[in-house]
Amino acid sequence: MAARVIVVTSGKGGVGKTTTVANLGTGLALRQKKVVMIDTDIGLRNLDLLMGMENRICFDLINVAENECRSFRQALIKDKRVENLFLLPASQIKNKDALTAEQMVRIVDELKEEFDYILIDSPAGIESGFENAVAPATEAIVVTNPEVPAVRDADRIIGLLQAKKIYEPLLVLNRLRSDMVKKRDMLDVDDINDILAIKLLGVVPEDEQIIIATNKGEPVVFNQQSKAGEAFRNIVRRLEGEAVPFMSFNTEPGVFGRFWKMLHGR
């Protein structure tokens, strides 16, 4: 068995990469998959917070990269709620130049045989942190928001991923608000598909449950009442190859003409 190695990235910051990794990781583990999540956001780690694992960190990614612990297993934090879910946390103190792409490739190679999924949380930007996160990956999920700048950055990132031979990244559109889309105050799914033209893995609505979940350290996929939770569960199933119909957010895509203004943000 060799793991699927998936990097979750976006270009623009704060669009929901870490939230996506936490929920997909948890969702996959809930389906009995063996999952490790790697936080590569050196100096700004927070995947451990979202997972409620902060107080259990002993070693981190840099320690592993520099062989400062006996084995990488020592650094993996095991989730207490779900079997087979692990986190390799980022280092909070070291600066971001402490890690190299070669080290990432080596670490992932060592983990590959033991897991079904390796999910890599990438930092924002297109610099070395992005390069490190992408280096070991063979698949990518691009997260974006329904806003012109986020979509522009996603487009840039898709081009960069393709240059690294990840030709078919998957798209997660996060924080969609159907009320705003209806009034044409927000780009809708069609607008974004038109531009990015990559396969849509899922649409996650804006949901205050995510904020509550984030603060509790308990990913929203656990929450059966939450729309966002349902969206992430669907994404997990699609990632596993199931054909799951897209949730309806009561939008009426494509009934209004598309205007120059929308596309160009002026």
Partner 1 sequence: MSFATKSLFSEQLVFKGLKQGLTLFIPEDKPFTHWLGVLDEQLERAKSFFRGGSILVELGERKLSPRELSELKAVLTKYQMTIKAFNPLAKKLFSARMKMDEPAPSGVLLVKGTVRNGQRLEHNGDIVVKGDVNPGGELIATGDIIVLGVLRGIAHAGVRGNVQAEIIALTLAPVQLRIAHIYSRAPEGMEVGQGPEIAHIKGETIVVERL
> Which residues here bind Mg ion, judged by CB under 5 A?
17-18
- As measured in angstroms, the least distance from the Cβ of 147 to partner 1 is 13
253 binds, among ligand ATP, partner 1, Mg ion, none (CB under 5 to 8 A by kind): none
Contact mark string toward ligand ATP, 214..253, x via CB under 6 A: x-------------x-------------------------
Q: Which residues bind partner 1 (CB under 8 A)?
A: 152-153, 155-156, 158-160, 162, 194-195, 197, 257-261, 263-264, 266
Cβ proximity to ligand ATP, 72 vs 157, nearer residue: 157
**41 near ligand ATP (CB under 6 A):** yes
Angstrom distance (rounded) from CA 91 to CA 109:
20
Q: Cβ neighbours of residue 84 under 8 Å, at least 6 residues apart?
A: 29, 32, 33, 34, 35
Extract the tokens encoding 7.
């990097």
Positions of E strands within 30-138: 35-39, 77-78, 85-88, 117-121
Nearest residue relative to Mg ion (C-beta) = 18
Residue from the set 3, 5, 15, 53 that interacts with ligand ATP by CB under 6 A: 15
Q: Cβ neighbours of residue 163 under 8 Å, at least 6 residues apart?
A: none
Cβ proximity to ligand ATP, 72 vs 85, nearer residue: 85
Cβ proximity to partner 1, 80 vs 167, nearer residue: 167
Q: Is the dihedral of CA 184, 190, 193, 199 positive or negative?
A: positive
155 binds, among partner 1, Mg ion, ligand ATP, none (CB under 5 to 8 A by kind): partner 1
Contact mark string toward ligand ATP, 84..123, x via CB under 6 A: ----------------------------------------
- As measured in angstroms, the least distance from the Cβ of 203 to partner 1 is 21
Contact mark string toward ligand ATP, 140..179, x via CB under 6 A: ----------------------------------xx----
The CA–CA distances, whole Å, from 10 to 15, 33, 122, 230 equal 7, 25, 8, 22
Strands 170-176 and 139-144, sheet pairing: parallel
E strand or H helix at 174, and its extent?
strand 170-176
Please report which residue ranges of 164-239 form alpha helices under DSSP H: 178-182, 189-196, 208-216, 227-239
Cβ proximity to partner 1, 85 vs 158, nearer residue: 158
Q: Is the dihedral of CA 181, 187, 191, 197 positive or negative?
A: negative
Residue 219 Rama label (left phi>0; alpha psi -120 to 50; beta): beta
241 binds, among Mg ion, ligand ATP, partner 1, none (CB under 5 to 8 A by kind): none
Q: Which residues bind ligand ATP (CB under 6 A)?
A: 10, 13-19, 41, 124, 174-175, 204, 206-207, 210-211, 214, 228
